Structure 1
Amino acid sequence: MKRTMNKLVLMGAIMGVSASAWAGNITVKGSDTLVILAQKWAEVYMAKNPGTKIQVTGGGSGVGLAALQNKTTDLANSSRKIRPKEIEACIRAFGKRPTEYKVAMDGLSVYVNADNPVKELTLEQLEQIFTGKVKNWKQVGGNDAPITVYSRENSSGTYEFFKEHVLKGRDFASSAQTMPGTAAVLQAVAKDKNGIGYGGAAYGQGAKHLAVKKDANSPAVEPSEKTVVDGTYPIWRYLFVYINPALDKGEVAAYLKWIRSDDGQSVVKDIGYFPLPERQREN
């Protein structure tokens, strides 16, 4: 039965059929950061609502938002805010701005190998490392060893957020190794004693996350529910779902409402991200 369902979904993708064409099926595409959470949401929701089928795929925030514009997904997951040009493309495609839902919070984490003695870095040091200005761990209090930078592909919302908020718009080091997803970044760092990478807070298994300082005179802060919600962790962000307003009804609307309910937000915490404060859960 599972193989049959997967074949149907694949046929739909090949034929370019709109996601909404599949009766009783909700399609979700986009952010690699969100994919593990979206898969768990789908699993829990389908167990409670056996008449609903939810298909979740990743690919990156940019890929999900492009699919929304092309009407090949119902929901687009994104780890960054939608860009003005993407809003314009959606308006051309379906006549309205897409509806934005905040669905969780994340402390974008910086990961190093578990044996790396470095425990904390400032935002400036992170910028210097990831742009290639600092190339050796001894320059930031570590061992005398070359730094290996692991990054994400440029379709990733996490890549764009990190570039904007940590690198201040500067380019990543030309030597940075581009990985296909956050899990791949973490796997590489876990194996490379000189590696450093970044990704969502839920992906930390096998590596060590660093505490981050806003500047040399600020305290080092680790990502946690408290520090992300109160903004003291310097690299916090919202995670989003975008939808064509015309599809925001029926089963899709019920699913979105459940995601932002206490039940849905408990899944957020179980996965390793941080629930939205109640005051920020849209009705």
Structure 2
Amino acid sequence: MKKLIGIVAAFLLMASTALADTTIKVDGSTTVLPIMQKVVEAYMKAHPDVKISVSGGGSGNGIKALIDGATDIAMASRAMEQKEIDLAKTKNVAANQIVCAIDAIVPVVNPANKLSEITLAQLKDLYMGKITTWKDLGGDGPVVVISRDTSSGTYETWEGLVMKKERVFPGALMQASSGAVVQAVSKNKNAMGYVGIGYLDASTKALKVDGIEATAENAKSKKFPISRDLYLYTNGAPAGAVKGLVDFLLGAEGQKLVKEAGFVPLN
């Protein structure tokens, strides 16, 4: 009997280990989230033995989770900073960067707004609080500035490419996700926000920047001035079930899903 119990216990241990090997946790950027949700749904349908959980708490939170060993894949809409890479090394985490898609951060206004284009200089002035009324841009009414929060990779990219390292002024209304920005702008005729290209829909109006439209072609060529790569980060080169998921995303079917999510595939 004891021998039988031992065999059963060993079997259960092996089964639980096998389950752990096929459980993947993904965390991070709310910009990359729609892509990953589509990819995970398709991948789990084809691989029912693999269990994947996906959550979007922002690029900074995803990278922190990777460094702390709390996630297998970090989604990020900005590159890891050197201080993050150095911190990862102190915890024996070798941050491995994978470009998974291309994006454009697009200024958006309420559809009732007559504005159709804007300059980088004007965007900077708006987000520094120097421009406070739409009258300065040919419109009417006060400007309600909507921004992503500081844990967001989209915020950090905006800060680098638009603000030129200047901080967004304290009067901006900070939102925890791109979806929240869309909702806020769609409900306020005086609002101005910015979102990834995959979040554009009829509830907001996209603006040209310096006369250039945010198209897939212009994002890929980086002609659109607020274009960027989207990333996944793993601890070292992907292996096992994680490699299977990453390879699927980078393959033809996964890149097709990138396009379906509204973002720009790599090729």
For 2:133 and 2:248, how far apart are their aligned partners in 1?
Answer: 47
The structure 2 residue matched to 1:80, chosen from 75, 78, 81, is 78
2:204 corresponding residue in structure 1: 207
* Residue 240 (str. 1) matches residue 231 (str. 2): yes
For 2:39 and 2:19, how far apart are their aligned partners in 1?
Answer: 22
5 Å matches for 1:58-77? Answer: 58-77=56-75
Matched residue SS, 2:97: strand
1:57 corresponding residue in structure 2: 55
1:258 corresponding residue in structure 2: 248
Decide whether the 8 Å contact of 2:67 with 2:87 is kept in 1. yes
For 1:186 and 1:261, how far apart are their aligned partners in 2?
Answer: 30
Matched residue SS, 1:196: strand
Residue by residue over 1:43-88, the C-alpha shift from the partner in whole angstroms, topping out at 9 and shown as x without a partner, is 0111111111111001000000000011010000000000001101
* Residue 132 (str. 1) matches residue 129 (str. 2): yes
Give the RMSD, CA atoms, in angstroms.
1.3
1:5 corresponding residue in structure 2: none
2:117 corresponding residue in structure 1: 120
1:44 corresponding residue in structure 2: 42
Residue by residue over 1:137-178, the C-alpha shift from the partner in whole angstroms, topping out at 9 and shown as x without a partner, is 1111222x1100011111101011101110111111221011
1:150 corresponding residue in structure 2: 146
1:32 corresponding residue in structure 2: 30
TM-score (norm 2): 0.91
The structure 1 residue matched to 2:164, chosen from 164, 168, 179, is 168
TM-score (norm 1): 0.86
2:104 corresponding residue in structure 1: 107
Q: Which structure is higher in RCO with an 8 Å CA cutoff and minimum separation 6?
A: 2
Matched residue SS, 1:108: strand
Matched residue SS, 2:147: strand
Matched residue SS, 1:91: helix
How far apart are residue 118 of structure 1 and its match?
A: 0.2
Matched residue SS, 2:89: helix
Residue by residue over 1:94-142, the C-alpha shift from the partner in whole angstroms, topping out at 9 and shown as x without a partner, is 2x53110000000111110011000000000100111111111111122
For 2:58 and 2:264, how far apart are their aligned partners in 1?
Answer: 20
For 2:149 and 2:220, how far apart are their aligned partners in 1?
Answer: 28
For 1:85 and 1:173, how far apart are their aligned partners in 2?
Answer: 25
Gaps of 5+ in 1: 1-19, 214-219, 278-283
Counterpart residue identity of residue 243, structure 1: T
Residue by residue over 1:16-35, the C-alpha shift from the partner in whole angstroms, topping out at 9 and shown as x without a partner, is xxxx9833111100001111
Matched residue SS, 1:87: helix
How far apart are residue 187 of structure 1 and its match?
A: 0.2
The structure 2 residue matched to 1:223, chosen from 192, 210, 214, is 214
Counterpart residue identity of residue 119, structure 2: T
For 2:232 and 2:205, how far apart are their aligned partners in 1?
Answer: 29
For 2:131 and 2:72, how far apart are their aligned partners in 1?
Answer: 43
Decide whether the 8 Å contact of 2:222 with 2:228 is kept in 1. no
